[in-house]
Each structure stands twice: as C-alpha cells, then as structure tokens.
Structure 1
Amino acid sequence: MSLKPSISSDHTMLPLSDPPKNQPDDKLFKGSAMTKRGAYAAISYMSCAVLLVMFNKAALSSYNFPCANVITLLQMASSSFFLYILRRWRVISFTASESLHISDTSTQFVSLKTLKHTFPLAAAYLLYMLVTMEAVRGVNVPMYTTLRRTTVVFTMLAEFVFVGQRYTQSVVFSVGLIIFGAFVAGARDLSFDGYGYAVVFMANITTAIYLATIARIGKTSGLNSFGLMWCNSILCGPVLLVWTFIRGDLKTTIDFPYLFSPGFLVILLFSCILAFFLNYCIFLNTTLNSALTQTICGNMKDLFTIGFGWIIFGGLPFDFWNVVGQFLGFTGSGLYAYFKLIGK
C-alpha cells in the first residue's frame, strides 16, 4: 500500500508558506508595521531557538559528545528528508505560485537555474557556520556573548548595502541601547585578545551577510521559505559531509560510547526536529520582517536561554553588572519590537 496520501480537491498547502508582505488585513493592529504572520514568525523563532539550545547543550555537555559538526550534519540531513517527504506528499510547495495538485513524478523540485541563484545563500551559510564555530573556540563565553551582541550593527550595515534599508532614529536608539547593555554585561570579563576579537567580529560580519542574503534572495528567487531551506540543504550538505570526514569527526562519532544510548538518541531526534523548525522560522522571520528583526529576536531569546540554562544546567554565577547589562539589552530589544509594532 502506498504511503503517499491521496490528493483531494480540498487539499491545501500548509498555512506557513510566505504570504505577500504587508497585506492590509493582516496587520497586528491598526497602525502596526508588523503583520500577524510576522509576529507569529518572530515568536516561533525565539521558542524554537531556546529549546534547540537546551537539547544541543544536553548532547554536547551532559553526554560530552565532542562533534558539534556531526550534529549540524544530522540536522541538515533530517531537514532535507523532511522537506523531500512533505514535498512528495504535496503537503508543502517550494514556490508561492506552485500548485500542489499538479501531477509530479520528478525528484528535481528546484531547477538548476534556481539552485545557481541561491548559491550565494549557501556560501554565506557555510562561511557563517565555520567562522562562528571558530569564534566560540577562540574566546571565553562572556566575551563571546558581549561581542556577538554587536551583530545588530553589522546587520544594519549589511541591510543598507544589500537592500538599501534605512532606519528611523527610534530604531537606532533601541539598537544603541542593546550594544551599550552588551558591553556593560561583559565589561568585567573583557580582556584584549587580538585573534579572538578578529574572529568574533568576522562571525558578526558573516552572520549579517547571511541574514541580509536571505532577505535579498528570498525576494528574488521566487522560492518560499521551504524552497530556500531545500536549496540550502542540497548545496551545503555535501560540503559539510566532506568537512566532517576530513576532520575525523565521523570516526569519532562511531567510537562515541553513548552513540546508541536511548537518551542520547532521543536528544538527537528532538534536536533535528527543532533544527528543521528553527531554520524555517529564520527564513520566514527574515523574509516577512527583516534581517534586523531576526537579529533582535536573537538577542531577546538570549534572556530566556540564560534563564532556562541556569534552571536546567546551573553553573551561572551571579554578577550585578552582568544583570544590569542584560536588562539594558533586553529593554533595547523590547523598544525595538515596540517601535516595529507602531511603525516608527
């Protein structure tokens, strides 16, 4: 018996596909600059991001799994599998104009021309991923958190360069408050390290380029968020597989003593599922709102990540100025969200 579900006349696409931006009847409230779908995308991203950090932390710390690249590879492979099955079953489409009722026996869901068009996105993602991992390795956590908060500035510059985006004084003020709070939070731990600073700022630049590339290609490729995820997985997966093989991570994974532990496998399963939804929410939030909104959401979810991390894993020492800095950063993120909602 075929596993492929029957296609009825009332079979519709998932309601998460990207709609036209700024629909008159989709505003969060009168005068709002953010749509209801945009707000749902932002909240969904923050929820998935916090949960994914918890599961990744459990795998890497609680089980001491040494290969973060392998987890990333598994997440990417799972994402490709989920997208393939959902597309073959016609539950989703990869373009906004694609009909789910058209008979399709081809396994090539996206044309070669479209793959070439999305290549800069895949390249930006790989560069962002590799540089970010090196940044984590090269500096201590307080310094890394402090310097990574400055990503918002690089994102604003990237959006201005790539899509000509300009910002109001209200937005600039809220971003300035985030940066000030970040340096207050980490000031007691900052110690100059030329290489560490350089790598973290490179991570900020690559993050900004990646998000700005999502915003630009998302508007010019004709693909929705599922289609962008598919192209990203198809182009990046083989490269990451070769990279993990060269580094010896695959052999290390095979020799890992808890590889077939039920608890570890459950954590990996949820990590892969959450990564799929997180990647979708990143694409959706960036295309529905903006790259800067995505970055601000990343800052806002840090508060919940720190809180849940302290409750579940412990080990977070109390420091007055760190708390003050975190509060200032969260206030800045809240102000940005407020200005976004009221359209200022």
Structure 2
Amino acid sequence: MTLNSVLLPVSEPPPPPLRAVDESAAPILRESSMSRRGAFVALSYMACAVLLVMFNKAALSSYNFPCANVITLSQMISSTCFLYTMRRWRIISFTNGEAHKSGLVPPQTVLLTLPLSLAYLLYMLATMECVRGVNVPMYTMLRRTTVVFTMTVEYLMTRQKYSFPIVASVAMIVFGAIVAGARDLSFDVYGYIMVFIANMTTAIYLATINRTSKTSGLNSFGLMWCHGIVCGPILLFWTYIHGDLELTMNFPYLHSLGFQIVMLFSCILAFFLNYCIFLNTTLNSALTQTMCGNLKDLFTIGLGWLLFGGLPFNMLNVIGQALGFLGSSFYAYCKLKGK
C-alpha cells in the first residue's frame, strides 16, 4: 500500500464561479453545482452535529454535568491529540500539496490563522452570553437569521452575489423563523443585541475559514491544529479562573463508565464535526455551511424530543420549522442543480 493511499481527504478550494459577460461584475453563484463529494461532506456535517448534540445533552442533562466549558476544552484537547498522532504517523497532512513530513505547522503560519481563532472566540463568547437574555424560541428564531449575515459578509469580503432561487430559499428560512417565534416575541434590548452580535461573529467566523485556508495554504486539518494551539490555552485559562476544573474533579459521576463513554463519543464526534465544518466551508461555501446548520436543527429537535422529551406542542412553531426545513431543502436542490 502506498503512502498516498492512506491519506485522509483534505480541503480543496472550490472551482471559480462562472462570471457574467461583464468581467467587472461580482460573481453570481448560478452554475456552481454541488459535487457528490460536497454533498457527502454536507450530510456528514449534519449527522455529526445531530449526534454531538445528543451526547452533549446526555452529559449535561442526564448526568447533570455542571461545566459546559470543560466539555468544550476536552473536545479541543482530544482533537489536538488526534491531529498530532495522525500527523506523526503521516496519515494526514496539514498543508495542500505538501511533502508528507512529520513536522508541524511553523509559528509564522500559526500567526496567519490568528484572525480565525479570534473570530471563533468572539463567536463562542457571544453565543454563550445571548442565551441568558433571550428565551429558547426567540433565540432559535433570531439565530436563524445568521444566513442573512453570512450572505452580507460574503458580499463585503468577496463581492459574491447569489441567484434569485438561493435568495428565495434564504427568505423562506427567515420567514419560517419569524413564524416559529411569533408567539414568543418578548422584547429584550440587550438579549437581541447579543444574538445579532452572535450572528455576525458566526458569519465572520465561517467566512474567515474560507479566506484563511487560501492565504495560509493550510488544509482542514492544518486549520484545526492551529485552532487548537491558539484557542486551547485561552479556554484552559478561562475554565481555571472560573473554578470549572475544580468542579469537574469533584463531580460524582467522573469515574462512572457510562459518563466516560458519553464524554469519549462527544470528543470523537467533536473532532469529526470540526473537520466537516472546515471542509464543508472550503469545499462548498460559508452560506452552504450555515444552511446545513439550519437543516440539521429539525433532526436535532425531533431526535431530542424522542430521547429526552420536554418539547411542548406549538402549531406556529411546527409551521415555522417546516418552512425552515423547506427553505433549506430548496437551497440544497438549487446547489445540486447549479441554479
């Protein structure tokens, strides 16, 4: 077996979009259809995301684990260890077109990924903060508008425009989100501001993935490695000063086999999820990644209701979720057909 035959797939920049007759016009995504590999990556992301939510829910609810940041830290440390081991064994590469050496990413390249890491930290902090001031239905509704922010950021960064069917699918998702939260319109200025900041930082984070992959020459594994190297120590310091590490050491189910299995699968799924996010964003687009996040919400809600229950019936919420699902499905259809 040759060395190249065991290498895992890495990210590749998508083919350049077809331009109109006027070369000065911004590119419009009309005929850049999603490849089979792109569709497989998108489906893999949604499957990993749904399963990861279930295992995190089991750790936080079923076992009443009090430290969500420790779960995130464990996932980040595990991913970094996985990457280091596979890189040393030459199973993966960190850059595109690289001779498969056992060396790691040089410091100057890590510095190029600082904007990506900072964007992730802002996204994470804003997301945690906005949950405090907004109830769950309104949080879900407002977070669905991330697709609009993603399209705006992509236009500002790359002057990228989208065809009418794509815009129509986004409008359907946003309208469905409004319908889903129509009966829970509780106005909270601070909470609303934090949700929209979280939407903006999410859009910037996804758009930065695409740009950083091109400027740094790193593939999905290389970006994940730099991400862990930069964000890991910061998150470790954050959990330490907040006393989460001490709470974890005193957690009564820490040595329980069931809890350890849940945490193990959570760390494994987080690794594959991050890989799929980077690969889906670079192989398809930041907007496709956002759409996949909306589409998997329906499966997350359904599976979560079957496993954990506690979801009250609300007709407007059901109609809104259905509209969001149809909008995401229509977007997927447009991408597959190249419209």
- Corresponding position of 2:272: 277
Matches within 5 A, 1:54-69: 54-69=54-69
Aligned partner of 1:44 in structure 2 is 44
- Decide which moves more: 172-181 or 256-265: 256-265
Q: Could you tell me whether the CA contact under 8 Å between 2:8 and 2:91 is conserved in 1?
A: no
- Measure the CA separation in 2 of the matches of 1:60 and 1:210: 26
Moved more, 194-203 or 45-54: 194-203
Aligned-pair CA distance for 1:11: 4.7
Cα distance change, pair 238–120 in 1 and its aligned pair in 2 (3 A): same
Q: Aligned Cα RMSD in Å?
A: 1.4
| Alignment of 1:325 onto 2:313 | no
Please state how far the C-alpha of 1:22 moved relative to its aligned partner: 3.8
Q: Identity of aligned pairs, percent?
A: 67
Match of 1:89 in 2: 89
Distance 1:336 1:214 in 2: 21
Q: Which residue of 2 aligns with 1:33?
A: 33
* CA distance in 2 between partners of 1:206 and 1:236 (Å): 16
Rounded to whole Å, the distance in 2 between the matches of 1:11 and 1:90 is 10
In structure 2, the residue matched to 1:158 is 153
Task: Normalising by structure 2, report the TM-score.
Answer: 0.93
Query: Equivalent residue for 2:11?
Result: 18
Alignment-derived partner of residue 19 in structure 2: none
User: How far apart are the structure 2 equivalents of 1:32 and 1:151?
Assistant: 22
Contact 1:212 1:291 in 2 (8 A): yes
* 1:234-313 correspondence runs (5 A): 234-313=229-308
User: C-alpha distance in 2, partners of 1:133/1:249?
Assistant: 15
The alpha carbon displacement at 1:218 in A equals 1.4
Q: How many residues align?
A: 325
Are the equivalent residues in 2 in contact too, given 1:218–1:287 (CA < 8 A)? yes
Contact 1:77 1:233 in 2 (8 A): yes
In structure 1, what is the Cα distance between the partners aligned to 2:15 and 2:37? Answer: 10
Structure 1 residue 20, shift from structure 2 partner: 5.1
Cα offset, 1:233, TM superposition = 0.4
How far, CA to CA, are the matches of 2:301 and 2:2 in structure 1? 47
CA drift of 1:18 comes to: 2.1
In the alignment, the residues of structure 1 paired with residue 7 and residue 180 of structure 2 have an alpha-carbon distance, to the nearest angstrom, of 42
1:118 to 2:113 alignment: yes
CA distance in 2, matches of 1:9, 1:258: 45
1:183 equivalent to 2:190? Answer no
Contact 2:59 2:263 in 1 (8 A): yes
Q: Deviations over 1:58-77 (max 9, x none)?
A: 01111111111110000000
- 2:120/2:205 contact within 8 Å kept: yes
Deviation at 1:318, TM superposition (A): 1.0
Matched residue SS, 1:127: helix
- Is the Cα contact below 8 Å between 1:22 and 1:35 reproduced in 2? no
Deviation at 1:263, TM superposition (A): 0.8
Shift of the 241–234 alpha-carbon distance from structure 1 to 2, 3 Å rule, reads same
- Displacement of 1:121 in angstroms is 0.2
Indicate whether 1:142 and 2:134 are aligned. no
Distance 1:209 1:9 in 2: 40
User: Quick one: distance in 2 between partners of 1:287 and 1:32?
Assistant: 14
In the alignment, is the contact (CA less than 8 A) between 1:126 and 1:236 conserved in 2?
yes
TM-score, structure 1 as length reference: 0.92
1:36 & 1:14 partners in 2: Cα distance?
19
SS at match of 2:74: helix
After TM superposition, give the deviation of residue 138 of structure 1 in Å. Answer: 2.4
Aligned-pair distance for 1:168?
Answer: 1.1
What is the CA–CA distance in structure 2 between the aligned matches of 1:280 and 1:9, rounded to whole Å?
24
Separation of aligned partners in 1, 2:53 and 2:108: 35
SS in 1 for 2:5: coil
For structure 1, the residue ranges without an aligned partner over 5 or more in a row are: 1-7, 24-30
Secondary structure in structure 2 of the residue aligned to 1:93: coil
CA distance, structure 2, for counterparts of residue 9 and residue 215 of structure 1: 31
In the alignment, the residues of structure 1 paired with residue 67 and residue 13 of structure 2 have an alpha-carbon distance, to the nearest angstrom, of: 40
